[in-house]
């Protein structure tokens, strides 16, 4: 085996690595989405949209279940990977390159989802507001948006590092995701993501760093109140097995949001 090479760059430019790493819990996530559609959906849920869809690791599986799926992502490598797999499974190539703060769908969808903290890539208050407005405009009245991300708990109990390993075929991956700096006043956190990849013939490490916005539970509640386009129907942690009540120690949350009954221009402004 050759010596380990180090690559500095975005994990999203390496969609196969991303797809393997973040598909570990796909069964639980798919089950959770279907349960929420049944329990919280107002009417039939058939049309789905995923902002920041990445490789579409859930989109194609939902498409195979009969949903009409589409997605959007900034990274063209991830979008190309997503569309190739949709095509492989006999589904339309419905992922597009775009910004989740600046898009319009041709037709409203019944539900949308964003489960792995991609919302935190929106590092300003205005970009977060605009994303929520755009999502409300993309949903039919009383449509669902399932939004998952990490909150900053009170005190010093925050988890600043996590790691996990997985494999697909001959590719074995070990990853470490950690916070390397946090500025509470600016609500900015810098994340380092290390992925060690090994095959029978090579080993290499990918190192990515990127900024994320931080939220306490109170800060996110204020954002929802200010934008005024969604109601919170329920909250879950990342285990996704039963509803939770958010308190000062809560970190991982999926919000079940429902679009308010607004005029289209109010949702999109």
Q: Is the pLDDT of residue 226 over 80?
A: yes
Tell me what the mean pLDDT of segment 113-141 comes to: 97
Sheet with strand 5-8: strands edge to edge: 5-8, 203-213, 188-198, 171-183, 161-168
**The predicted structure's pLDDT at residue 262:** 66
Task: Compute CA distances 167 → 4, 52, 54, 208, 243, whole Å.
Answer: 18, 24, 19, 20, 31
Pairing of strands 203-213, 188-198: antiparallel
CATH topology of domain 15-153+215-268: Rossmann fold (3.40.50)
- Beta-strand runs (E) in the chain: 5-8, 47-51, 68-73, 95-97, 109-114, 139-150, 161-168, 171-183, 188-198, 203-213, 230-236, 252-259
**The predicted structure's pLDDT at residue 71:** 98
pLDDT in tens, 5-44: 999 999 999 999 999 999 999 999 999 999 999 999 999 9
How many other C-beta atoms lie within 10 A of the C-beta of residue 111? 25
Tell me what the mean pLDDT of segment 200-221 comes to: 96
**The predicted structure's pLDDT at residue 153:** 87
- Beta-strand runs (E) in 75-198: 95-97, 109-114, 139-150, 161-168, 171-183, 188-198
Distance CA 78, CA 72 (A): 10
Q: What is the pTM of this model?
A: 0.92
Pairing of strands 68-73, 171-183: unpaired
**The predicted structure's pLDDT at residue 263:** 60
Name the residue among 113, 17, 121 with its Cα closest to residue 61. Answer: 113
* Domain(s) of CATH 3.40.50.150: residues in the chain: 15-153+215-268
* Domain(s) of CATH 2.20.25: residues in the chain: 5-11+154-212
**Rounded mean pLDDT of the chain?**
93
CATH topology of domain 5-11+154-212: N-terminal domain of TfIIb (2.20.25)
**The predicted structure's pLDDT at residue 129:** 98
pLDDT in tens, 162-183: 899 999 999 999 999 999 999 9
Tell me what the mean pLDDT of segment 40-54 comes to: 97
Distance CA 224, CA 111 (A): 18
**The predicted structure's pLDDT at residue 155:** 58
**The predicted structure's pLDDT at residue 159:** 56
């Amino acid at each position: 085996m050759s010596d380990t090479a180090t690559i500095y760059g975005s994990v999203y430019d390496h969609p196969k690595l991303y797809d393997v790493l973040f598909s570990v819990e796909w069964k639980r996530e798919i089950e959770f989405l279907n349960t929420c559609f049944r329990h919280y959906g107002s009417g039939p849920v058939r049309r789905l949209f995923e902002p920041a869809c990445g490789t579409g690791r859930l989109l194609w599986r939902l498409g195979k279940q009969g949903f009409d799926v589409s997605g959007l992502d900034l990274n063209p490598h991830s979008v190309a990977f997503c569309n190739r797999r949709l095509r492989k499974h006999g589904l339309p190539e419905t992922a597009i390159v775009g910004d989740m703060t600046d898009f319009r769908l041709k037709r409203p969808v019944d539900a949308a989802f964003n489960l792995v903290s991609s919302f935190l890539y929106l590092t300003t208050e205005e970009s977060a507001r605009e994303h929520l407005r755009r999502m409300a405009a993309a949903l039919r009245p009383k449509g669902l948006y399932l939004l998952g991300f990490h909150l900053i708990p009170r005190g010093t109990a925050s988890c600043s590092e996590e790691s996990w390993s997985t494999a697909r075929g001959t590719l074995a991956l070990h990853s470490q995701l950690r916070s390397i700096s946090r500025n509470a006043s600016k609500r900015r956190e810098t994340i380092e993501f290390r992925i060690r990849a090994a095959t029978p013939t090579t080993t290499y490490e990918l190192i990515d760093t990127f900024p994320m916005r931080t939220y306490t539970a109170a800060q996110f509640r204020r954002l929802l109140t200010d934008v005024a386009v969604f109601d919170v129907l329920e909250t879950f942690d990342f285990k996704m097995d039963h509803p939770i009540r958010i308190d000062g120690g809560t970190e991982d949350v999926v919000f079940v949001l429902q679009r308010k009954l607004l005029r289209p221009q109010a949702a999109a402004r």
